[in-house]
Amino acid sequence: MQFNSRRCILRRLATFCGSPQPTMSEDKPKSRPRGSTQADPDVERDQQPATLDECRRCALWRNATQAVAGEGPKHAAIMLIGEQPGDAEDLQGRPFVGPAGALLDKALEEAGLERKKVYVTNAVKHFKWTPRGKRRMHKTPGQREIEACGYWLEQELRSTAALVIVALGATALKAVLDDPHARLQDTLGQTIEHGERTVVATYHPSFALRALDASTRQRAYDAIVSALQDADKLSRKHKRSKLMP
Ligand code: URA
């Protein structure tokens, strides 16, 4: 996956350097009369883009600095899937490099896994946000955006060796199971056999950072560590069963 970061940086600079900025109403998809079949001119739902930078399968590209591709070795045994890039990831063009990423790195270390040995990606590749003053506030991606971005996740699943997937939060779970009704609460701490892969569902690191009380944050963090340990054990089991059919 590639993207043209230069163009993205120029777009971003334009946003912050006083070039004409989209108004709030321009930011939002224009409302259409009920039943209207008129398509959003910036979106091509059936597009089959060759690169992430060209992706117009949903409208999120419009307000993002750049698309954030997954990263890690193609031969990784474990894939971690988050929700979508946050503010820091959108600016840096890499997954999990902000506060949630710092917590994830700590959990990986505690679970005895090296980040450079796992493949890290997101269900949705563009940052979905809404302005609040000067801040860009995260907005949860909708089902249509998850489905549009499934195009990329499928390619990542096909092109990496990972047979163990850690779904970090409900959006990742819906995306990897391709099931809009999948609920994190129903599968937390369980392993789900999905085709040839095993999915381990756990909390999103942001929940472990932002839950209101300290004991919930600690429980969520511990659950993430334990899911990563389970993933490690499962990946060893997959490896053994490949060696001894
Ligand atoms: N949250 C995510 O889900 N992914 C990131 O890359 C960063 C924050």
- pLDDT for res 221: 98
pTM of the model: 0.85
Q: pLDDT averaged over the chain?
A: 88
Asked whether residue 23 is assigned to any structural domain, the reply reads: no
Q: Which atom of ligand 1 is the closest one to the Cα of 98?
A: 7
pLDDT digits (tens, 9 = 90+) for 49-82: 999 999 999 999 999 999 999 999 999 999 999 9
- Cβ of 121 closer than 6 Å to ligand 1, yes or no, is no
> Is any atom of ligand 1 closer than 6 Å to the C-beta of 63?
no
Confidence of residue 37 (pLDDT cuts 50, 70, 90): low
How far, in Å, is the centroid of ligand 1 from the Cα of 66?
Answer: 14
Kindly tell me if the per-residue pLDDT of 36 is higher than 70: no
Backbone angles phi, psi at 211, to 5 degrees: -55, 150
Distance 209 CA to ligand 1 centre (A): 12
The reply to whether ligand 1 has any atom less than 6 angstroms from the CB of 90 is: no
68 located within any domain: yes
Q: What is the mean pLDDT of residues 141-145?
A: 98
Ligand 1 atom closest to 88 (CA): 7
Task: Report CA-CA distances (Å) from 161 to 158, 166, 238.
Answer: 8, 14, 11
In a domain, 12, yes or no: no
pLDDT at 206: 98
pLDDT band at 189 (very low <50, low <70, confident <90, very high): confident
Q: What percent of the chain has pLDDT over 90?
A: 80
* 5 occurs within a structural domain: no
Please work out whether the CB of residue 95 comes within 6 Å of at least one atom of ligand 1. Answer: yes
CATH number for the domain harbouring residue 126:
3.40.470.10
Question: How many angstroms does the Cα of residue 244 sit away from the middle of ligand 1?
Answer: 37
Residue 24 lies in a domain: no
Is the pLDDT assigned to residue 144 strictly greater than 70? yes
d(CA 149, CA 96): 18
Q: What is the pLDDT of residue 121?
A: 98
What atom in ligand 1 is closest to the CA of residue 123? 3
Distance CA 17, CA 190 (A): 48
C-alpha span between 127 and 113 (Å, rounded): 27
pLDDT tens-digit map of 152-177: 999 999 999 999 999 999 999 999 99
The answer to whether residue 185 sits within a structural domain is yes
* Cα 80 to ligand 1 centre (Å): 11
**Contact of 154 with 216, CB cutoff 8 Å:** no
Q: With a cut of 60, say whether residue 14 has pLDDT above it.
A: no
**For residue 32, what pLDDT band results from cuts at 50, 70 and 90?**
very low
Domain count for the chain = 1
pLDDT digits (tens, 9 = 90+) for 118-130: 999 999 999 999 9
Domain housing 176: 54-243
pLDDT confidence band for 238 (50 / 70 / 90)? confident
Q: How far, in Å, CA of 194 to CA of 176, rounded?
A: 9
Q: E strand or H helix at 157, and its extent? A: helix 143-159
Ligand 1 close to Cβ of residue 129 (< 6 A):
no
What distance in angstroms lies between residue 174's CA and the mean position of ligand 1's atoms?
15
- Residue 95 and residue 156 in contact, taking contact as beta carbons nearer than 8 Å: no
- The reply to whether 111 falls in a domain is yes
Q: What is the predicted pLDDT for the residue at 84? A: 98
Residue 207 Cβ inside 6 Å of ligand 1? The answer reads no
Q: What percent of the chain has pLDDT over 70?
A: 84
43 is a domain residue: no
Answer yes or no: is pLDDT of 11 > 70.
no
**Where are the strands (E) in the chain, listed by range?**
78-82, 119-122, 129-132, 135-138, 164-168, 191-194, 197-202
At residue 240 the predicted structure's pLDDT band, cuts being 50, 70 and 90, is confident
Question: How far, in Å, CA of 73 to CA of 116, rounded?
Answer: 8
